[in-house]
Structure 1
Amino acid sequence: MPTLLIVHHTPSPATQAMLEAVVSGACTEDLDGIDVQVRPALTASPVDVLNADGCLLGTPANIGYMSGALKHFFDTVYYPCLSATIGRPYGLYVHGNEGVEGAVRAVESIATGLKWRKAFPPVTVLGQPGKDDLESCWELGATVAASLLD
């Protein structure tokens, strides 16, 4: 059974709503047969990544960059997973109250270094997530999960 690992840093109600929408999309009934594992960024390990067939990443934008927790995750898993996870699909969602471009650029740069494959464009939300934003998060979760069945 394919495994999708959702790694997130969720310090606010906005990022919590986005996480819940992503998980809901990844766990939709249409995608029976996918094991969805959800881990906070500070506890996710190289073993979690090595056991997964794809990753979905969530972070707030802090001062124009990914959260320190997600950066710690990447620092922990980068070298142990570098050659073993080439080509795996990933997705990203980012919440901010101002610019999120730096956070997206940083995550995409590291994912490129890992040679992961972007399965869906990043979902970015400024301010309080609305209905359309949460639907985009749901679609992100469903699409990245479905990419594991290809």
Structure 2
Amino acid sequence: MTTTWTITLTKGGRTKIGYPAAQLADDGDRITVRAPWAAEGVRDFGFVRFEPGDVFVEHFWRTRWYAVKEVRSGDGVLKGWYCDVTRPAVVRDGGILVEDLDLDLWVSADGKTVLRLDEDEFAESGLAASDPEAAAQAVRALDALEEQARSAHGLAALLG
């Protein structure tokens, strides 16, 4: 029996996107799901394109301040990993609720490109003033993800 979750990503107190995902694993801390690209059309970031047919294997933690999404094309070719800095996931009532804290990290499939994203949005969000502890956790999470991505074992060691 496959468990289906509704993933809800919020930002600034409002729902950014919601979509269904099939559970692959749950070890009590990390829950892993698979979902198709849920947004409308193509999103071209310049360094990667997300498009209909792409498949995301998403890892959410109940105790960590990030989510890691492995992105593959419809034919299974690995594009890379998109990492969202978030508050720890809240899992309940058939849903996984994740609050986006603006900071992101992109890691290419070959591990050679590691990009910190949206640091300007994070600075403009006002989180450092409104919730300094959460802001500090977010920065630490981004730093830890980048360090892991640049290590010899890359993000695969984190997800293994």
Task: State the TM-score, normalized to the length of structure 2.
Answer: 0.28
* Larger fraction in helix: 1
TM-score, length basis structure 1: 0.29
Greater relative contact order, per chain length (Cα 8 Å cut-off, separation 6+): 1
Query: Larger C-alpha radius of gyration, 1 or 2?
Result: 2
